[in-house]
Structure 1
Amino acid sequence: MTKKYSKFLPCVEDFSLDNFPFYWVTQVHAQHVQNVDHALKKYGLDNSRRRILLALKAKSHASVSDLSEMIISKMSTTTKIVYRLKDEGLVDTYSCEDDARITRVLLTEKGQQMTQKINDLTNVVLEQSFDGLTPLQIEKMIESLKHIFKNLAR
């Protein structure tokens, strides 16, 4: 281990969770999910379904495999969520014309309306999250997180 990162790693003698970046990443993520889940409860949704719906808003007619990659979830888990959303009338599925083994997913009109409601509710959580930060600080944080993600994904 290089000395320049030792203060951030749990293997040092005087380690503190306050210095472990991934502790804070998981804490922030867990608190965000908890706040979003609480806000979405009024629509009978949870974070897993929210993530699929917003991924479809960004990439309509995505395959289940695409969605699984986008939300970093196992294919079986993504498939279960997609079919739950289909039963709720929020998405529809169809077989790909080029390859019938591929299932494509799209938002229904009801799903489109739900994504708007989701965005309205989660904007409140987002504003609360970033209170006291400048847009530049948020952009820098995003750049850093993307960089760390790329390092971990290699």
Structure 2
Amino acid sequence: MAKKYNKFLSGSADFNLENSLYHWITQVHAQYIQNVDHALKKYGLDNSRRRVLLALKSKNKASVSDLSEMLISKMSTTTKVIYRLRDEGLVSTYCCEKDARITRVLLTEKGQQTIQKINDLSLIVLEQSFDGLTPLQIEKMLDNLKHIFKNLAP
């Protein structure tokens, strides 16, 4: 690898954790999840449920495998969360007409209302996290992260 990246590599002599992009990505993510979980706790929700509900908001009637891929989560984990959400009345499930092996997931009215609560609570955390950044800086950071993701994705 080119020497220009040495300060970012843990094996290099001049490495400092402060220069580790992935350290900061995980730190930011962990702090965000902690703050969101704290806010959602009063509604009996957690990050796992939030992620599935928001994925369904963007792609309602998705299959369990589609959701698992979207969330980069194991199929068994996604299935467990979906069953919990179904038991809570936030989603319903049904077999695909064309292929009975495929289970589709649908937001219920209660699920739609819960997403609104999630968005209201998450907005507070989001505004806190973006304090001092311009929309252009946020867009550029988003573009960079998408680019890195594409580089890493199979």
Q: What do residues 50-91 of structure 1 show as CA deviations (whole Å, max 9, x unaligned)? A: 000000011010000010011110000000000010001100
Corresponding position of 1:106: 106
Residues 1:56 and 2:85 aligned together: no
Code of the residue aligned with 1:80 in structure 2: it is: K
Corresponding position of 2:9: 9
Give the TM-score, by structure 1 length. Answer: 0.99
Alignment of 1:1-154 (within 5 A): 1-154=1-154
Runs of 4+ residues over 2 Å off in structure 1: none
Structure-2 separation of matches of 1:4 and 1:93:
51
Structure-2 separation of matches of 1:33 and 1:69:
20
Structure-2 separation of matches of 1:60 and 1:15:
45
SS at match of 1:39: helix
Code of the residue aligned with 2:146 in structure 1: it is: K
Structure-2 separation of matches of 1:39 and 1:19:
31
Which segments of 5 or more consecutive residues in structure 1 lack a partner in the other structure?
Answer: none
RMSD: 0.6
Is the CA contact (8 Å cut-off) linking 2:33 and 2:47 kept in structure 1? Answer: yes
How far the C-alpha of 1:13 sits from its partner, in A, is: 1.5
SS at match of 2:12: coil
How far the C-alpha of 1:145 sits from its partner, in A, is: 0.1
Code of the residue aligned with 2:96 in structure 1: it is: C
Give the TM-score, by structure 2 length. Answer: 0.99
How far the C-alpha of 1:14 sits from its partner, in A, is: 2.4
How far the C-alpha of 1:12 sits from its partner, in A, is: 0.8
Which segments of 5 or more consecutive residues in structure 2 lack a partner in the other structure?
Answer: none
Code of the residue aligned with 1:121 in structure 2: it is: L
Structure-2 separation of matches of 1:72 and 1:48:
12
SS at match of 1:140: helix
Is the CA contact (8 Å cut-off) linking 2:6 and 2:15 kept in structure 1? Answer: no
How far the C-alpha of 1:4 sits from its partner, in A, is: 1.2
Structure-2 separation of matches of 1:28 and 1:136:
19
Code of the residue aligned with 2:83 in structure 1: it is: Y
SS at match of 1:53: helix
SS at match of 2:104: strand
